Amino acid sequence: MKLTVLSDIHGALDKLTSAASLLGESDLTIVCGDLTRHGDLNELRRIVEELKLSTRKLLAIPGNMDGEKSIRVLDELEVNLHGKAIKMNHIRFIGAGGAMPTPFGTPFEVPESEIVEQLSGLHQGKGPSRLAVVCHNPPFGTKLDRIMLGQHVGGKQIRRWVEEVQPDIFFSGHIHEATGVDRIGKTVLMNPGPFRRGGVGVVTIPAKGEIKAEVVLV
């Protein structure tokens, strides 16, 4: 199964034309949160509807900038993965949006323990499907949670959950300067970076065997 992964759109789809061929060729496009600048629901609807025109299938979670009311809109538009487990082909996708508390008091902040509790409830034990996690917040201590000054700001409880569960792949966003691919044990990690700057994750997940993941700029 071929996926394209976006994050941190923040209301700007300037790169959509450049990314259209990549999105159109993939089986599924995932958005890892922060579709809007500050939770405007009309802006959220516009972003989702425009993305739908360029994708075969779209799933999204809200980020900390989107606000909790965005969940209802994502549900209405039939793209919501937050708080859900959705099986597609040989992959089971689970999603947890929002983010750990920040110094900025953004619209959708939740305790890290609630994020982990939600992921645990959705996971419910290993099955024959490959497990793909979509979470706005990255785990601690990787290439994907390092801010400009070098400090790691990801979730320590999220990291422990990843170490224990070992999902096949873990998608996140949130930290704009921490674009890339990394690993925790057997788990492939990806932050595609802000889509407004052209970051697109390109991922191939076979039924068995090695997952291929890279971030390209469009």
DSSP letter for each residue of 168-183? SEEE----TT--EEEE
pTM of the model: 0.96
Question: Rounded CA gap, 170 and 191, in Å?
Answer: 9
Mean of the pLDDT values across residues 22-47? 97
Q: What integer pLDDT is reported at residue 175 of this predicted model?
A: 93
**Which residue has tokens 């994708």?**
55
Say what percent of the chain tops pLDDT 90.
93
Give me the architecture of the 2-217 domain, per CATH: 4-Layer Sandwich (3.60)
Length of the chain: 218
Q: How many CB atoms lie within 10 A of CB 190?
A: 28
Question: Rounded CA gap, 67 and 69, in Å?
Answer: 6
- Average pLDDT across the chain, whole number: 96
Question: Rounded CA gap, 135 and 81, in Å?
Answer: 10
Q: What sign results for the dihedral spanned by CA atoms 159, 180, 212, 98? A: positive
What are phi and psi for residue 214, nearest 5 degrees?
Answer: -150, 155
- Which pLDDT band holds residue 129 (cuts at 50, 70, 90)? confident
Mean of the pLDDT values across residues 168-187? 96
Q: What integer pLDDT is reported at residue 125 of this predicted model?
A: 62
- Which pLDDT band holds residue 173 (cuts at 50, 70, 90)? very high
| Whether 33 contacts 7, CB under 8 Å | yes
- Which pLDDT band holds residue 144 (cuts at 50, 70, 90)? very high
